[in-house]
Each structure stands twice: as structure tokens, then as C-alpha cells.
Amino acid sequence: MLRLITIPISHYCEKARWALQRAGIAYREEPHVQGLHRFYARRAGGGQTVPVLVTPEGAIGESEQILEWADAHGDPSLRLFGEGAEREEQLAVCRRLDERLGPHGRRLIYVRMFEQRDLLLRYND
């Protein structure tokens, strides 16, 4: 079975979860606490960040690449991306959201979570 190395609060990890579920691909999630996740990501064959999807072909360590893998391996009627220019446009939107919205969203989440220690610990655990 595929393994998805994650941290619970990450929107990049949520994007990977969503893509695998939409494509009808079974996987087992392995969530980890922030900070320690780096060890588990590297051990799984990725870099220092999550998500990391461990497949029979090897590890995939970026959410966009996981979406592309799910698109290629899932049910063709549930494809995430189109073909040719349409596909490139859709990937460009994903990249723009990852580069611009992603870091700002992450900072906002952490700022709000640090204000609510009990909630923070519940998500971390």
C-alpha cells in the first residue's frame, strides 16, 4: 500500500490527500509532529518537507508532483488536469497558489494556532 508522510495541519498535505482520494487511490497516511516530520520525510526518501508519497517506483516529495502522479495513476474519468495548454494553465495556477498563497496561509495558521495552545497541541498530536 502507498504511504503518505504528512503533518496534520499542512494545506500542502491536505492537497495531496484530496488528490489521492479523488483519484480513487488507496494509501495509508503517516502523520507526524512538525519538526520531527523532517526525519520521517528523509527516511521515506523525500527531502525535509512533507507531503512525501512513497510508491513502488520511489518517493515523491512535492505536493504538485503527487497531484501529477495521482492524475496519471488514478481513474481516467477522475483526472485532475486536462491536456496540453489547458494542463499547463492548470499547473500554473497550482504553482501560483503554492508560491503566493501557501506561505501566507501557513503563517496565518501558525499565528492563530499559537494563540490557542490546547487546539495547537490537539492538532500536533
**Of 113 and 32, the one with more pLDDT:** 32
Per the omega criterion (within 30 degrees of 0), is the bond before 76 cis? Answer: no
Nearest one of 82, 53, 86, 56 to 70, comparing CA atoms = 53
Q: Evaluate whether 62 touches 15 at the Cβ level (below 8 Å).
A: no
The pTM of this model reads: 0.83
What's the confidence (pLDDT) of residue 124?
64
Kindly report, residue by residue over 1-49, the tens digit of the pLDDT.
Answer: 999 999 987 889 999 999 999 999 999 999 998 888 999 999 999 999 9
In CATH, the architecture of 2-124 is 3-Layer(aba) Sandwich (3.40)
38-97 residue pLDDT tens: 999 999 999 999 999 999 999 999 999 999 999 999 998 989 898 999 999 999 998 998
Sketch the domain layout of the chain as residue ranges: 2-124
Q: What mean pLDDT comes out for the span 88-112?
A: 83
Neighbour-count burial for 84-100, b at 16+ CB within 10 Å, e otherwise: eeeeeeeeeebeeebee
